[in-house]
Structure 1
Amino acid sequence: MPLSWLAEYVDLPPGTSLEDVHAALVRVGLEEEDVHTFDLEGPIVVGEVLEFVEEPQSNGKTIRWCQVRVAPEGETAADGGEAVHGIVCGARNFLVGDKVVVTLPGSVLPGPFPIAARKTYGHVSDGMIASARELGLGEDHDGILRLSTLGIDAPVGTDAIALLGLDDAAVEINVTPDRGYAFSIRGVAREYAHATGAVFRDPAGQVEAATVPAEDGADSAFPVRVHDSAPIRGRVGASVFATRIVRDIDPSRPTPAWMIARLKLAGIRSLSLPVDITNYVMLELGQPIHGYDLDALQGGIVVRRAQPGETLETLDGKVRTLDPEDLLITDDRGAIGLAGVMGGAETEIGDATRNVLIEAANFDPVSIARTARRHKLPSEASKRFERGVDPSIAGAAATRVAQLLVDLAGGTAEPGGSLIHEAPEREAILLPDGYVTELIGVEYTTDEVHDALAEVGGRVTRVDGGLEVVPPTWRPDLTAKADLAEEVARLLGYDRIPSVLPVAPPGRGLTRSQRVRRGVADALAAAGATEVLAFPFVTDDDNAVYGSADGSPVSSVKLANALDASAPFLRRSLLPGLVGIARRNLSRGLTDLDVFELGLVFLPERDRAYGTAELPIGWERPSEAILDALNAGIPRQPRHVGVLLTGDLSPKQPGRVAEAAGIADALDAVRRIAHAAGAGVEFAQGTHQALHPGRTAEVRVAGQVVGYAGELHPRLTAEADLPRVVAVAEVDLDAILALTDPSVEARPIGTLPAATQDLSLVVGADVPAARVAEAVREGAGELLEDLRLVDDYRGPGLPEGAKSLTFALRFRAADRTLTAAEASEAKLAGAALAAERTGAAIRD
């Protein structure tokens, strides 16, 4: 907000800087964003063109060698030079006698672009005649800025920076969605007054009161009707609608320089005087204004919802097909504007406009927000309406525009106007005694609370047991007692709130699922893996390959409005995302990878429609029946853990060879996951169409398959430009939790000596080692403390099609030291059961 404008409505102490204003606004909760200036340094003065000579150049360009007076006759110029400067200029839109802006040597233009006397086109140009864009005043760069086009006739030598308002500066703040009133000078000035105690002068109160009908605008000089057949949330789309008429304006008059400068600092480009005035008042009061060419209107105005198939050409030149929920401004021929968003092209104010109808209305925030998003048409007006505009200032804003059109455009304002005002009265909020202190944690007196809420603008009344507060009309965000408590804390200072760590209430904390998820992530990360997050969007082929172990057809959830049209489906597996991440890292030279992801997969059932439940309205809590229907329309979404390893897990170094990642590492990762979840995991030979045949293991918990581990199929690694060996694993963490008893019984540590023996068994090569180990463990009984497979031999000395499995066994008894005979007996019992179940024979 420009400081000169802010100072009109609140007193700024002498010497107040941009940083001081920002600091004051931060104290009341408005975040600082940036500061804006015109970045000009003088001397920049008003000059008068005395004469010029046009000189054609060899490059086809014609320049003017100008003699420009930059100081009164007999006086020294601001740069210390002569009163008349010779200046080379390439523009040709000025005449002898024109007043222009001259940047003298030593000045600096935005860029920065320092100005100095320099030789060019055979002359020494002692300065530069500036255009509007070079001064930062606008985008016009077709020619130099002639002061007559701005209605300015200042003496030669006058400081042009101050004359054009280019010495002003502005602060930019971040306006949160609940504080739309801060999109105006009126709102920011009020907040500055709250922060500093300065006296606030309401610009709306300084506007001469409009003479308007007391009741309905239909019987006024210009008829207005609101006919809303489809109100949202039970609220009529337009609760306030004010109009004023100004006749015989001169649209060719220039916008004053001070107004252009203020609009520029506020981020709005100057277009024409009538449009600039409406934008100026919007920034000043926070009330969006729209002007119509009165002569282009046919009949009165009706505010209504759009009809099916109705269209409108908006000011941006696009023809838009309207939705029945869109609120429209219409006349006898049809739609002439999208209410609160953008006007229509047919009634636009143009160069031929002489009579203007001014509209200032208050529209329902939800209706405007939906329309702006539906048509992808954000505007300065919709940005304010969707956050809430003060319904009490529409008449004052329309009158303020009319006054400026009279003062600056030479128009004549018709007396009166029309005003429909059906905005509901703000309801009183009961604020019990002690509530603010209890909620904020600071001892506030009743008088402090009363005065703070009165300063905000509320009507505060003392009642039994507390205060009754009617919030001000410009604060639609104040709807509950907690909002009022926040205002008290804000105005009386956040620094009064102590920094005390709250005590967590007993009986709460992380759920079992949350604890296990964190434990799994910590275990994998501690083992050297890196957690990644992949997009959950994949192709149909990805789901067909990775989402089905046996290749049977699967069903996928397809997004109605996908971010990427080539990947519109929700994933059935985490592996496509991990493969994509590996491919991206490998392309950037990272060849050794150990990554994992915890995330949801989406497993819809075949031949079942999802998402068919009726969506609830957004302004009330859905019923249990609606919630049940919505939940029934959501596919199953279990949480999986995916792992991918490739390259060397242990790099080559002195005294140690590199260790390449493989299926064993994927199995180890699954063991870590199972250990963190408190589950016992088993592996069995398995098949999965995305994994290498013969190098695939089923992951089982309590006898049920919960995932797969192995090496990626060579065809898939080739398609993804990955190394030949890529180890992967994916398990259903939710299934593991469901199959695991959360209670854990700790086994005591044995203190007596253990007996160790080895057992080598010869079995068929197609017999899984896990089956053999299970039989040995069961047959050996309670004395067997630990069993590990230490060797898998296939080669000379064994029958064809056989393998030798060697197990390391550890036996221990809790009450005695075992003898070798007892350990051997237990070992042979295990071998016997393995022989019975798998045909294993003890190797000689």
Structure 2
Amino acid sequence: MQFPESWLRSFVNPDIDSDALSHQLTMAGLEVEEVGPVAPPFEQIVVAHIKEISAHPDADKLRVCQVDDGSGDLLQVVCGAPNAAAGLTVPFARIGAKLPDGMKIGKAKMRGVESFGMLCSARELGLSEDHSGLLELDSGLSAGQSVREALSLDDTVFTLKLTPNRADCLSILGVAREVAALNGAVMSPPQAEPVAVSINDRLSVEVKAPDLCGRFAGRVIRGVNAKAKTPDWMRARLERCGQRSISALVDISNYVMLELGRPTHVFDLAKVNEGLTVRWAQEGEQLELLNGQTVTLQSDVGVIASGNELESLAGIMGGEASAVTLDTTDIYLEGAFWWPEAIMGRARRFKFSSEASHRFERGVDFANIPQDLERMTQLILEICGGQAGPLDDQIINLPERPVVALRVDRCRRVLGIDVSEQEIGEIFTRLNLPYQLENGVFKVSPPSYRFDLVIEEDLIEEVARIYGFERIPDVAPVAPAMMTMPAETLKGPHALRAVMASRDYQEVINFSFVEEDWETNYCANRNPIRLLNPIASQLAVMRSSLIGGLLANIVHNANRKQSRVRVFELGRVFERDSSAEEGDLVVQGVRQPQRLAAAAWGPAVPEQWGAPDKPVDFYDVKNDLEALLGSRANELVCEAAIHPALHPGRSARLLLGGTPIGWLGEVHPQWVQQLELARAPVVFEVDVEAISYVNLPAPTEISRQPVVIRDLAIWVDQGVSYQGLLDTLKQSIVSDAKLKIVKDIRLFDVWRDKNADGASAQTSLALRFWLQDPVVTLDDQQVEDCMKVLLAALVDQHGVRQRA
């Protein structure tokens, strides 16, 4: 929000200087980001009238002007500006004047003709970049008057950095309310009495979407002069607010928006004779906007239509079809309350923003629409003329403003000061917040323009702002220092991060908002959770997986010539779940589990002389995952399964103690090609809660008996998995007491005949067994009997045969 200080002081004028005002606003939560002068310093530049003009005798592009600068004598000035003409009122730099760029004006001779000063353009005065000609001033200004005084250049421009909740301060009126409350000053906003109605013309308006438009008001004005000149005072204020002057009707609309915070729209009445309909758009409808952009609409976008033609994007931008031009004579002036939820994010979806949408999506005053339209009508009639019709005002569906309670004791505890009930009441009065006080509880009715007052903490913030943050003493909080004992079985998020970092992974933090294609491609999620107000059009849905963000990190690094990337993220994902109930940190219908995901791409180890350059594979990343699981790694089972983001033959569902916890595998070749990566990254994603608990160490006595090691080589058919064999062996050990001496089993060799037929090919697996009795030394017969039982179980369950 940018505005000149003089405009603000025309509403409320406290007895403080600009610096104090800037500090006061910042401490009240309206951060003043920048303060600067309207114009740079210059001296001895006055208003002058060009009385006569003649051609230069020796230069085609120069002319000799006779200028009245108020000194009593006409001064001869040589000028090359193309718009120099007799009767023009322009800035004149006298001899001795100093321009903003440091140039000092002196007597000069140009092509043999003496010149006693300089006529100035806007750029030469530092007012704008316009150097096309002399700066034309109001002809009613007196010759000799200081240009700084005539144009009010001794003014200051404030730029506020507002938080999104303070939409009420996106206007001079809103900031003036704050200044008045902070200083206890009287505010004098412009008053607009209802204009005289001289015609009975009306335009029919039907509101079909009460969840889009809560109130709609408008009036017909005929006989306006759209070619009328915008007054200099209005144009100057608009420019100092960062707005470009366009035409009188458009300028008036922008002026009222900046003055009162009321976005309005002006229709060319000749183009909307069929009346207006406020409704939701139909899927696929198109509209050409005032900025020249043609947009294709979805059914959740509001529009104003006339018959079958769309005329405006509701609350965002008008359409080109009904835009006013310099030939417009009859207009329809519209002001409405659009529900913030119906406007949020729509403009960004179309990759633009507008002043209207910026305000409506934050909440605009719904009570003062008729008064604001009367103010705008008054300005139109004063500047453009015309005859006004009656003001139609439809109230359809306005927000309910429930009373917000503030407990005085709670306010004192939060702020840490003994603020009295009287002080709180005075603050609410200065803020124009109606209240009732009962038994130490203030019951406040929020005004129609304060959408940020919803809960008790909002009112406590208001008390703190007006009371003064600087008045609150700097006292350190006092709390008992109680040490808590962490559970031995809990591996917290910091411990998980430390393990991943020790495995050469770098932590990343990605947005929870992702591209919809990521959800479709990597998660097969056709119904993601959509954002009502996305920060960017491409980041429109909530993530249900961390994999997409990690792949984007890899692509980013690969595009910058990085050959090896290992990243991980620990964060929340968002899934639809009808069983999720509303809570302090829970949204109804949405489950938000924490996940830990990692992705590795490039060589398995950094380039070195001691190891060959081998691309990272499934088993490298599985090893990292086992390190993350620690003592529970022996419970991890990889079960072949298909995941939309992963290679069908190189991916696995992860089970921990028989419970699914996530996925591991190579990225699907289709997505690798789409991402333009030379190799496939390997990724895993697991549930944080499932891996955060470890088994409590259970000490056992170390056996003094020797360990017996036996190997068993077997042939297995295609389709028989090692995991299946291992499960059979473990089940046999559990069910037979004689097999309790088997302490460990490892696979140490895999061999396949490359020349064998694929259908009948068998695989040779070599297993190693460690056997030990805690009490006695094992004899050979006992070991052999044990091995025979284990082999028999494999033969019976999987049809294996022992390799000779």
Which TM-score applies when normalising by structure 1?
0.68
Equivalent of 2:170 in 164, 169, 183: 183
Alignment partner, residue 617 of structure 1: none
Shift of 1:730: 3.5
Alignment partner, residue 78 of structure 1: none
Alignment partner, residue 91 of structure 2: 101
Equivalent of 1:262 in 224, 231, 237: 237
Change (3 A) 1:659 1:274: closer
- The within-5 A match list for 1:706-725 is none
For the residue of structure 2 that corresponds to 1:363, the secondary structure is strand
Is 1:363 aligned to residue 363 of structure 2? no
For the residue of structure 2 that corresponds to 1:237, the secondary structure is strand
Alignment partner, residue 618 of structure 1: none
Contact 1:278 1:401 in 2 (8 A): yes
Gaps of 5+ in 2: 754-760
Distance in 2 of aligned mates of 1:374 and 1:577: 22
Equivalent of 2:682 in 728, 731, 734: 728
Equivalent of 1:305 in 266, 278, 290: 278
Equivalent of 2:189 in 203, 225, 240: 203
- The within-5 A match list for 1:165-314 is 165-195=152-182, 197-204=183-190, 207=191, 209-210=193-194, 222=200, 228=206, 230=208, 232=210, 236-238=214-216, 241=217, 251-253=227-229, 255-256=231-232, 258-288=233-263, 305=278
Distance in 1 of aligned mates of 2:670 and 2:295: 50
Alignment partner, residue 160 of structure 1: 147
For the residue of structure 2 that corresponds to 1:451, the secondary structure is helix
- The within-5 A match list for 1:420-439 is 420=393, 431=406, 434=409, 436-437=411-412
Distance in 1 of aligned mates of 2:598 and 2:184: 61
Change (3 A) 1:390 1:499: farther
- Amino acid in structure 2 at the alignment position of 1:287: R
Shift of 1:262: 1.6
Distance in 1 of aligned mates of 2:642 and 2:369: 73
Deviates more, 1:347-356 or 1:640-649: 347-356
Contact 2:280 2:300 in 1 (8 A): yes
Shift of 1:447: 1.0
Alignment partner, residue 565 of structure 2: 593
Distance in 1 of aligned mates of 2:669 and 2:289: 57
Change (3 A) 1:823 1:657: farther
Cα deviation digits, residues 144-182 of structure 1 (max 9, x gap): 3222xx4443314x4324422333222122344443321
For the residue of structure 2 that corresponds to 1:155, the secondary structure is coil
Contact 2:316 2:347 in 1 (8 A): no
Gaps of 5+ in 1: 76-81, 548-554, 604-609, 614-620
Distance in 2 of aligned mates of 1:333 and 1:694: 55
For the residue of structure 2 that corresponds to 1:528, the secondary structure is coil
Contact 2:220 2:330 in 1 (8 A): no
Distance in 1 of aligned mates of 2:803 and 2:296: 84
For the residue of structure 2 that corresponds to 1:649, the secondary structure is coil
Shift of 1:748: 0.3
Change (3 A) 1:671 1:324: closer
Change (3 A) 1:355 1:645: closer
Shift of 1:252: 3.4
Alignment partner, residue 29 of structure 2: 29
Change (3 A) 1:773 1:107: farther
- Amino acid in structure 2 at the alignment position of 1:200: V
Shift of 1:199: 1.2
Shift of 1:33: 3.3
Distance in 1 of aligned mates of 2:540 and 2:421: 58
Cα deviation digits, residues 445-491 of structure 1 (max 9, x gap): 21122111111113344456644544444435445655434322332
- The within-5 A match list for 1:124-135 is 129-132=119-122
Distance in 1 of aligned mates of 2:379 and 2:263: 15
- Amino acid in structure 1 at the alignment position of 2:563: T
Distance in 2 of aligned mates of 1:649 and 1:348: 64
Contact 1:138 1:270 in 2 (8 A): no
Alignment partner, residue 757 of structure 2: none
Change (3 A) 1:237 1:250: closer
Instruction: Please provide the CA RMSD for this pair.
Output: 6.4
Contact 2:370 2:393 in 1 (8 A): no
Is 1:524 aligned to residue 503 of structure 2? no
For the residue of structure 1 that corresponds to 2:605, the secondary structure is strand
Contact 1:642 1:730 in 2 (8 A): yes
Contact 1:600 1:637 in 2 (8 A): yes
Shift of 1:255: 2.0
Distance in 2 of aligned mates of 1:690 and 1:184: 49
Contact 2:529 2:542 in 1 (8 A): no
Change (3 A) 1:371 1:55: farther
Contact 1:696 1:709 in 2 (8 A): yes
Distance in 2 of aligned mates of 1:503 and 1:365: 47
Alignment partner, residue 697 of structure 2: 746
Alignment partner, residue 551 of structure 1: none
Shift of 1:590: 1.9
Change (3 A) 1:138 1:421: farther
Is 1:557 aligned to residue 531 of structure 2? no
Contact 1:429 1:480 in 2 (8 A): yes
Contact 1:47 1:68 in 2 (8 A): no
Contact 1:224 1:302 in 2 (8 A): no
- The within-5 A match list for 1:459-608 is 459-463=434-438, 466-478=441-453, 483-494=458-469, 496=472, 500=477, 520-532=496-508, 557=526, 581-582=553-554, 584-596=556-568
- Amino acid in structure 2 at the alignment position of 1:8: S
Aligned pair count reads 759
- Amino acid in structure 1 at the alignment position of 2:160: I
Distance in 2 of aligned mates of 1:173 and 1:572: 37
Contact 1:38 1:136 in 2 (8 A): no
- Amino acid in structure 2 at the alignment position of 1:154: S
Change (3 A) 1:280 1:668: same
Contact 2:180 2:430 in 1 (8 A): no
Shift of 1:668: 0.8
Change (3 A) 1:694 1:16: closer
Equivalent of 2:62 in 61, 64, 67: 64
Distance in 1 of aligned mates of 2:459 and 2:86: 64
Distance in 1 of aligned mates of 2:66 and 2:546: 74
Cα deviation digits, residues 73-126 of structure 1 (max 9, x gap): 599xxxxxx965544x3x4222145332356898566xx797889999979999
Is 1:649 aligned to residue 605 of structure 2? yes
For the residue of structure 2 that corresponds to 1:652, the secondary structure is coil
- Amino acid in structure 1 at the alignment position of 2:620: D
Contact 1:558 1:569 in 2 (8 A): no
Contact 2:555 2:677 in 1 (8 A): yes
Cα deviation digits, residues 527-562 of structure 1 (max 9, x gap): 21124559976979996xx98xxxxxxx76388999
- Amino acid in structure 1 at the alignment position of 2:560: R
Deviates more, 1:311-320 or 1:229-238: 311-320
Contact 2:33 2:160 in 1 (8 A): yes
Distance in 2 of aligned mates of 1:247 and 1:355: 6
Is 1:16 aligned to residue 34 of structure 2? no
Percent of aligned positions that are identical: 24
For the residue of structure 1 that corresponds to 2:18, the secondary structure is coil
Shift of 1:593: 2.9
Alignment partner, residue 423 of structure 2: 448
